[in-house]
């Protein structure tokens, strides 16, 4: 698992939009091990999946219940999962749909500080994956995760997000799509 995580980080090093200090910080965190929430409740790794409709430069985001923020679907990486496996699982769980031949592309990494008084979770090290969709599917979103969700032009989605780690990664995706 550690080797694969490091390979993913290495694949991002050619992206000049991503801060090399951030990449180094995440690399050092990976080398410490205990990458998933079951092993480290405080500081662990997650995967965001961003359904993308390139033709309209739209992405699918939702008003997340726990985060109280407009974010893409995603979740904690579980024991034995790769970040890509998490994307496939969360796509099914949160969007009630199954990935078939859609291109899944890692485009960013972020660190999000999480502050929730009743949960031990404090740091999410987030892999960001674009999932390229041929059409703007009307997903059946998990109502235990999201108040609501919809396709938004990427600049509108950025405008609804609050945390800098979220807006920065979505801006990186916008630049990738330009």
- Across residues 101-122, what is the average pLDDT? 90
Longest dimension (CA), the chain: 42
pLDDT score of 117 more than 90: no
pLDDT-above-70 percentage for the chain: 100
- Full-model pTM: 0.96
Determine whether 160 is exposed, middle or buried from the number of CB atoms within 10 Å of its CB (0-12, 13-18, 19+).
Answer: middle
Q: What is the distance, to the nearest Å, from the Cα of residue 147 to the centroid of all Cα atoms in its chain?
A: 18
pLDDT score of 6 more than 90: yes
Q: What is the pLDDT of residue 132?
A: 98
| Coil vs helix vs strand at 31 | helix
pLDDT score of 137 more than 80: yes
CATH number at residue 162: 3.90.79.10
* Residues shown for the chain: 178
Phi–psi pair at 135, nearest 5 degrees: -140, 160
> For the chain, how many structural domains are there in total?
1
The parent domain of residue 69 ranges over 2-177
Q: What is the pLDDT of residue 119?
A: 80
Q: How confident is the model at residue 66 (pLDDT cuts 50, 70, 90)?
A: confident
Q: How confident is the model at residue 171 (pLDDT cuts 50, 70, 90)?
A: very high
Q: Which of 97, 178, 156 has the alpha carbon at shortest distance from 131?
A: 97
Q: What is the pLDDT of residue 118?
A: 77
Which tokens in the block code for residue 31?
């080398």
Determine whether 130 is exposed, middle or buried from the number of CB atoms within 10 Å of its CB (0-12, 13-18, 19+).
Answer: buried
Which tokens in the block code for residue 23?
């990449």
Q: Note the pLDDT tens digit of each residue in 23-55.
A: 999 999 999 999 999 999 999 999 999 999 999
Which tokens in the block code for residue 1?
């698992």
pLDDT score of 116 more than 80: no
Q: What is the pLDDT of residue 109?
A: 98
Q: At what angle do helices 83-95 and 2-12 cross, to 10 degrees?
A: 90
- Across residues 48-63, what is the average pLDDT? 97
> What is the residue-averaged pLDDT of the chain?
96
Residue 166 · residue 71 · CB < 8 Å:
yes
pLDDT-above-90 percentage for the chain: 93
């Amino acid at each position: 698992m550690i080797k694969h995580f490091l390979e993913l980080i290495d694949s991002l090093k050619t992206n000049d939009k991503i801060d090399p200090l951030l990449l180094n910080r995440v690399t050092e965190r990976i080398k410490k091990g205990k990458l998933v929430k079951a092993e480290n409740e405080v500081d662990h790794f997650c995967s965001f999946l961003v359904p993308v409709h390139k033709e309209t430069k739209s992405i699918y985001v939702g008003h997340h219940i726990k985060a109280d923020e407009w974010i893409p679907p995603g979740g904690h990486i579980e024991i034995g999962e790769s970040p890509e496996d998490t994307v496939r699982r969360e796509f099914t769980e949160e969007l009630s749909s199954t990935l078939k031949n859609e291109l899944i592309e890692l485009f960013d990494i972020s660190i999000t500080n999480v502050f929730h008084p009743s949960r031990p979770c404090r740091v999410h090290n987030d892999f960001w994956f674009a999932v390229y969709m041929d059409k703007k599917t009307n997903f059946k979103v998990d109502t235990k995760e999201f108040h609501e969700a919809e396709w938004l032009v990427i600049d509108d989605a950025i405008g609804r997000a609050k945390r800098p780690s979220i807006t920065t990664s979505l801006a990186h995706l916008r630049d990738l799509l330009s």
